[in-house]
């Protein structure tokens, strides 16, 4: 029986790391230069959401060993793609649309990652507390972005920078600590067939 291909897992893990780096750098840029124009900010955020949404959907179907990092990524990948499309379509509007969309996405992601940290703890992964710490920090910033869209654009842009920086560190930690790729991983059907055969023999 053929082994499962590791290519989707490697693509998803590499995508997580690359996007984590992009978010980290973008967060630093927004914190240092918070006077970015609405159109530039909207385009940057919209494209990043769509690309990361695609990476998350690929990760969901990659079936890595632990099944921790990508277990909620199909639903959240779709949410990111939809929100990214909305942000790109509304870049000419007021900044509050961008910050609300970003806040919702960041908050939702942090809630998923809190669940992942709990699962990682049960798996005995030592970095679970780091995942939880960044997830809580990211969620708090996401709440601020979602409920304070009428504050000064400069302040909210800096908050967005903090959230992107935290998101980058969160996803990097998850990709490194929970995505395990093995060369001799069999398809899931083998496991189900094995259990069915064992049950018959008993």
DSSP state of 93: S
Domain assignment present for 1: no
Domain assignment present for 106: yes
**CA–CA dist 61, 11 (Å, integer):** 11
Domain assignment present for 2: no
* Domain that residue 128 falls in: 7-201
Domain assignment present for 53: yes
pLDDT digits (tens, 9 = 90+) for 144-195: 888 876 667 788 888 888 988 998 898 888 888 877 665 555 555 444 444 4
pTM of the model: 0.73
> How many structural domains comprise the chain?
1
pLDDT digits (tens, 9 = 90+) for 58-106: 878 876 655 676 777 888 889 889 888 887 887 666 566 777 878 888 8
CB atoms within 10 A of CB 96: 16
């Amino acid at each position: 029986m053929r082994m499962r291909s590791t290519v989707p897992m490697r693509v998803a893990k590499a995508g997580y790391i690359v996007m984590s780096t992009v978010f980290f750098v973008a967060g630093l840029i927004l914190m240092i230069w918070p006077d970015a124009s609405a159109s530039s900010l909207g385009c940057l955020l919209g494209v990043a959401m769509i690309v990361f949404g695609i990476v998350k959907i690929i990760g969901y179907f990659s079936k890595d060993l632990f099944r921790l990092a990508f277990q909620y990524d199909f639903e959240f990948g779709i949410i990111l793609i939809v929100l990214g499309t909305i942000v790109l379509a509304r870049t000419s509007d007021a900044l509050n649309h961008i910050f609300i969309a970003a806040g919702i996405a960041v908050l939702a992601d942090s809630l998923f990652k809190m669940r992942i940290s709990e699962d990682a703890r049960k798996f005995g992964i030592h970095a679970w507390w780091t995942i939880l710490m960044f997830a809580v920090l990211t969620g708090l910033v996401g709440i601020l972005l979602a409920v304070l869209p009428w504050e000064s654009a400069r302040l909210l842009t800096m908050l967005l920078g903090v959230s992107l920086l935290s998101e980058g560190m969160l996803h990097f930690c998850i990709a490194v600590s929970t995505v395990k790729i093995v060369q001799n991983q069999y398809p899931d059907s083998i496991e189900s067939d094995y259990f069915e055969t064992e049950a018959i023999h008993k």
